[in-house]
Amino acid sequence: MTPSASIQELVGDGWIAPRARFATDAALRSLNGEWAFRASPSRAAAPDDLGSADGAGWERIPVPSSWPMQGHGTPAYTNVRFPFPVDPPHVPDANTVGDLVRTFEWPGGPALLRLDGVDATGEVWVNGRRIGSTAGSRLVHEFDLSDVIRAGTNTIALRVAQWAATSYLEDQDMWWLPGVFRDVAVQALPAGGLQDVRVEAQWAGGRGVLLVDADTRDGATAVVDVPSLGLTGLATGVAHDVGPVDGWTAETPALVDVVVRTPSERADLRVGFRTITIEDAQLKVNGRRIRIRGVNRHEHHPDLGRVIPADVVRAELLLMKQHNINAIRTSHYPPHPDLPGLADELGFWLVDECDLETHGFFEVGWRGNPSDDADWEPAYLDRMRRTVARDRNHASVIMWSLGNEAGTGRNLEASAMLSHELDPSRPVHYEGDWSSTSVDVYSRMYAHQDEVDAIGRSAEEPLPDAEADAHRRALPFLLCEYAHAMGNGPGGLSEYEASFRRYPRTQGGFVWEWLEHGIRRTTADGREYFAYGGDFGEELHDGNFVADGLVDADRNPRPGLLDYGKVIEPIALEIDGARVRVTDGYDFADLADVELRWTRGSAGGVLPLPPTGPGETTEVELPDGAVGDGVLTVAAVLAVDVAWAPAGHEIAWAQAGTLPAPPEVDARIGLEVQDGVVRIGPGAFDAATGRLRSIGGAPVDGPTLSLWRAPTDNDLGVAQFLEGGVSDADAWVAAGLDRLHERVVAVRTADDALEVETVVAPAALAHRVRVRQRWTSDGDALRLDVVVTPEADWTSGWARVGLELVLPWTADSIEWDGFGPGQRYPDTGQAQRRGTFVVDGAAALHTDYVRPQENGSRAGVRRLVVADGGRGLVVTGDGFSFTASPWTSAELAAATHPTELPASDRTRLTLDLAEHGVGTASCGPGVLPQYRLDAREVAATLVFRAR
């Protein structure tokens, strides 16, 4: 660091010591609302009158807000790269400065000002006097106003800089959005009141131990009441055995109201009793190993930027609970101060992360990384101290995280030491140092499923240092990020889950991530879409890498959330003949509030569960009506309303049985050739090309062979574990799968069969595929026996083996027997179940990803009906897949946003005989070997009928 960076720039000045957030009866005046605002292009250009400014004639913007979302400047997205030169601590002269001013009324008396979030730094004036500055965008800063506030009208002014020295510590894979984006408030400071409250509530053997430390003003004495336990006047600073109490866990979030009071102020806290330990290389709460079923959660809103309304936050946490998610990593900064309390109430394990990421230094080989520069130590320790101080009273917080992707160095080690010193009751997490010498868990990102399995078996590669290796092997293992939920995907969830369930040491992980960071925009003709990196003219950007969530920016579930909820379901159901084996996979909760519901066809019923505790298995007899032909579905559902879902909410399900087999077509009738048309049963074919032109009068064109698909984000990703670092999409394009040409070799007619042989090959290349079709009919249906054979040397696999039909009409109804109702690929779609499903046309099968790509495959199909009014076709087979889309793969691949897809009056129907998996190579492992589609011979039989 150069001498020009002062401690003030790195940690701010004038603030009071960091402290906990707690509810109090001291008067609180919110300063949220409309503020006067002006912007200057640089610090040098910002007027020096802020101390005396009254905002007259300025524009108005809301606080909290991100000012680019209010029309002042534009959002910018980078993942790793800094959007300014890497020259710490300096930032460019072009550095927007936003000045904000408002007045407020105060009845008189001492007070403090609380700023919950100012991006990037802010200077504060009250009544013309400068009182201090902030440093740490997502950290609380409080300032004592006692010497400056007055009864009546007061003026507050903030000067906020978009960039500062601290921006080098805040490169957190999200939109760069300056502004005062969290709450602003003034709170009274009553004489003899509470300055800080620190709670430690331990639990063991059914009893609670409560220790409350309270800092007071003016030497006042504080005491503690626990009304529900009949305890009053307990001394602070002393550990009290409060007797029998329910332990708090994410599954059983029992909270106790605790009052801390002085003669002049009362604080109300909701306290959970729980004890965190690490034993036998396992993270335990209240003596039991816990299973992390988590997500990484950024804070983003498509219209407001970094501001998220309270009702939206509650709704998204309820949605998490309803999909079996029990843990949140607050990536990569402390969340809004209200979130930990909501997690206490609803039940989540929180990994509370410090406001720190220096990832941009990766681009320069980590040279100059502040993590190993002693001059930056005050900033690291200040950020860690503020994180711990604010949230330490929350039972949901079970671990502190030093930050994310900040390399290694002395300042991270010092932060770990400080965290242990401030709060010995919680372990410390950091992924960036795989030796894990300074932390309490072994954490990784995007480790391959095979490596996770090896870690579970203690068969991982040893560290060079034997002592460090022994230390790490004694730690529990977590994946702080895995299964990159970008676009169509993620694949491979089931293989991760198998390791988490098999080995005590591998305790789960956090999917990246919960939410897509799309920004809502509207086309000239009024169609909405979500913008991503590059849509705002950024000099540097990382495209749609900001859109990698299990839900879209409006919190609508993507298919990946449904799959994740199914894979991690905490109740295991196994149907064995006339019995259902039920295993309680919760760590603490029994199944007293759960019942079983079964359905088979139109029949169904409810099965009460006998008492079943955590880890226990119960067998339940099925009634006679549940056993028979067809598909039986058994679901574990809530029997009563709970805080996060109503009665009837489905937690887990299983199926047994099969769908009806398609009718066979063996009898054959003769064919006739007339006027260039081959007619056989309901089908009419072009005699020269052998292509099917109609079925029962419904026009069709095809089938043609398709080996390609519009690349998914995961197809385009370079998997860490692929030889040569070549993406699947690049390999497919290099092999010419997107530019296939067909040559008719022969069209042969016999008395009862039409045989069509074609060769399909890419331009400029010599490898090819031979396709042999044999069409026969019993008079009512067409039977197609097809064999697809690769020839010459194929250097790549295929995306699919699809038979593509173009229907020159728009389907208004699509019905199928198979997996549904949503999409399913070889390594995704775990949430889809066997049944009969109907949708209103091809558009209803489409998933509107922010960047169009392959989607919508329905798998395991035995019967498919595609209809337009009274016409259409029926396809049967033994477990094929299909996609029906208004758009071709080429149209999907060419569009950068859904609004660019052309209007269509046709349906592209692709019948897939084999498909390549999805994987998670957009950031992580590619498609696992068992789900890859290598160039190989594929044979199948399909039957076509007129509807």
- Catalytic positions: 405, 481
Q: Give which of 328, 325, 349, 329 is closest to 569, Cα–Cα.
A: 325
Residue type, 552: D
Residue type, 100: L
* Sheet arrangement for strand 282-285: 276-279, 282-285, 288-289
Residue type, 482: Y
Angle at 478 between CA 615 and CA 21, to 5 degrees: 95
Contact 257, 263 (CB under 8 A): no
Instruction: Give the Å distances, CA to CA, from 169 to 90, 365, 381, 407.
Output: 13, 16, 12, 11
Read off the tokens for 885: 């889309």
In sequence order, the 6+-apart residues with CB closer than 8 A to the CB of 885 are: 842, 845, 846, 856, 892, 907, 908, 910
Read off the tokens for 633: 């579905």
In sequence order, the 6+-apart residues with CB closer than 8 A to the CB of 116 are: 140, 182, 183, 184, 336, 337
Contact 741, 940 (CB under 8 A): no
Q: Give which of 257, 184, 186, 261 is closest to 227, Cα–Cα.
A: 257
Please give, one letter per residue, the 3-state secondary structure of 24-39.
Answer: ECCCEEECCEEEEEEE
Q: What sign for the dihedral angle of Cα 555, 556, 558, 563?
A: positive
Contact 343, 334 (CB under 8 A): no
Report how far residue 773's alpha carbon sits from residue 134's, in angstroms, rounded to the nearest whole number. Answer: 72
Residue type, 35: W
Read off the tokens for 709: 């698909």
Helices 377-391/410-422 angle, 10° precision: 30
φ, ψ for residue 587, nearest 5 deg: -85, -25
The number of residues in the chain equals 947
Read off the tokens for 364: 């320069």
Read off the tokens for 309: 């309304």
Report how far residue 290's alpha carbon sits from residue 507's, in angstroms, rounded to the nearest whole number. Answer: 7
Half-sphere exposure of 286 (CA within 13 A, CB side): 25
Q: How far is CA 57 from the centre of its chain?
A: 43
Helices 449-456/493-502 angle, 10° precision: 0
Residue 629: DSSP 8-state? S
What beta strand segments (E) does 450-495 contain?
Answer: 477-482
Report how far residue 141's alpha carbon sits from residue 69's, in angstroms, rounded to the nearest whole number. Answer: 24
Angle at 455 between CA 454 and CA 459, to 5 degrees: 55
Contact 789, 935 (CB under 8 A): no
Read off the tokens for 145: 């106003």
φ, ψ for residue 420, nearest 5 deg: -60, -35
In terms of Cβ atoms closer than 10 Å to its own Cβ (0-12, 13-18, 19+), residue 9 is: middle
Residue 354: DSSP 8-state? P
